[in-house]
Structure 1
């Protein structure tokens, strides 16, 4: 299958992987649907695999030691935010005016608590800021949080120069000159079940390259791109953000499980087919249910993901 941004953006046949349930902990993460951008084609496949592997190890180390699902997904996503190969944090896509505007969300399936940020420009790791919104504020979603707030909460701040990479500057210039119809989105995310049976989800993104300033996609919208509920599942999505919002994709999966009694794989399959493929939208997701069963699915040409199956680490690039 084609592995670069020039792959056709229209949805393909659904690709779905389902693992066996796990009595202990389980983790799955993604680095975006649709493949690498044209400007990163020269990067080796190994580089992307190493990035996914490092993020997976960060999350697994916490779960292995008896840590929480929430801690694990945040640690995994933070690693991906720090890696310029992925569209989150450093190396994120640029808006039409050449800036980085970041979105992120976390949700704890046990407490039902959630936190999110949109159009974040100062927090080095937006996923940390989203979690702090959840734990230290009265709110769920903050838009354009100030640099002063980031520092007040004692989180690391960064300038625009830190986030912007040469590859993304070149990508924006190419899009503006060619008005390419190729996919320009990308997201990172993780889901986990811990030893206590609790689930959590975390998602972070730079949005779409050349997007209108102030545009917000599905990642920080609870129920659209991020959702977790104990006894059901945790879901983190990536793809055509507007379609995920319209279809309330992450919650739709959980609702099929809760009200129709569907298993995770069937719920994922039905939601993607009805809310994405049938509406000519593409993307993917990682999910885990209450039994530690992982389902990874996408109708995009490619998807970056990492998860364990039968004791082996699977890296999808």
Structure 2
């Protein structure tokens, strides 16, 4: 694990003491970075599972990388990477997602491309892969955000339909019981996401989550809110976030980073650092993100105790668990 930034921050930026940041310069004609959530493993999945988490992150990264290496689009790459994590019950997205106080899974997801197109869903219960449904909203409807999309819509778009029980795992049931009995105070949130730049210079971001364990039914976090947890704009950056969703919404965190790059001329590391200082660390909120700029530079950052992440550096895949 890298313990300090690959590229030093500019002197004008005063980094928060709790911020951990890695910046990697572009060394290929495409770039990909992903996160598997901030906050670390929940107690029910902690013992002896580190290698499983590393393997899951590696599979997700390779799925996206294969598309980019063959000349595929950034959008296809980020969706493929996220879909792998949605299918892996270790991560808080898709199967194995966090449960609401009612014991149900309500899933959120969003995708955005650098040309300004976006799609998102909230409180989804029937699409096996929420990221696919978010993409379908973008590509097959006149809307941007759909809440509680019905099974008939999912089937009508030829996406895989499952029952709500498919998403519920025993580990998440146990976590919910322990939270409600106040027997544990560990991480409650987590999100998966990916950002990419393809060989054509296009960028995209995708994010998917089950939200916070024991959250109120109907609660929606930052993931499907464009500009809060997910954002992409050509010439600037693509960003996918994870953490305390309410804080990311209040700070419009993903857009704030892009705006600093656009209007202040900040580099991505400087922009991420300033946003964390002003909107997260300075407000006692935690989380993390992955970012890729128009040139392919990657920034991975978090002020939470830990964050799952995967990104390349000098020909090697770096995995944080």
TM-score normalized by structure 1?
A: 0.95
Cα distance, 1:161 vs. partner? 1.9
Deviations 1:12-51 (A, max 9, x none): 6100000012350000000000100010012421100000
Q: Does 1:112 align with 2:116?
A: yes
Written as runs of structure 1 = structure 2, the 5 A alignment for 1:1-317 is 13-109=18-114, 111-178=115-182, 180-317=184-321
Count of paired positions: 307
> 5+ residue gaps in structure 1?
2-10
Deviations 1:168-218 (A, max 9, x none): 000000000016443300000000000011100000000000000000000
SS at match of 1:77: helix
> 5+ residue gaps in structure 2?
2-15
CA distance in 1, matches of 2:91, 2:53: 9
The alignment's C-alpha RMSD in Å is 1.2
CA distance in 2, matches of 1:164, 1:123: 14
**CA 1:12–1:204 in structure 2 vs 1: closer, same or farther (change >3 Å)?**
farther
**CA 1:46–1:247 in structure 2 vs 1: closer, same or farther (change >3 Å)?**
same
SS at match of 1:95: coil
Moved over 6 A (4+): none
SS at match of 1:167: helix
SS at match of 2:126: coil
SS at match of 1:314: strand
Report if the CA contact (8 A) 1:23-1:291 is conserved: no
CA distance in 2, matches of 1:127, 1:202: 7
SS at match of 1:178: coil
Report if the CA contact (8 A) 1:12-1:301 is conserved: no
Cα distance, 1:135 vs. partner? 0.2
CA distance in 2, matches of 1:53, 1:21: 20
CA distance in 2, matches of 1:78, 1:126: 8
Report if the CA contact (8 A) 1:18-1:295 is conserved: yes
Cα distance, 1:89 vs. partner? 0.1
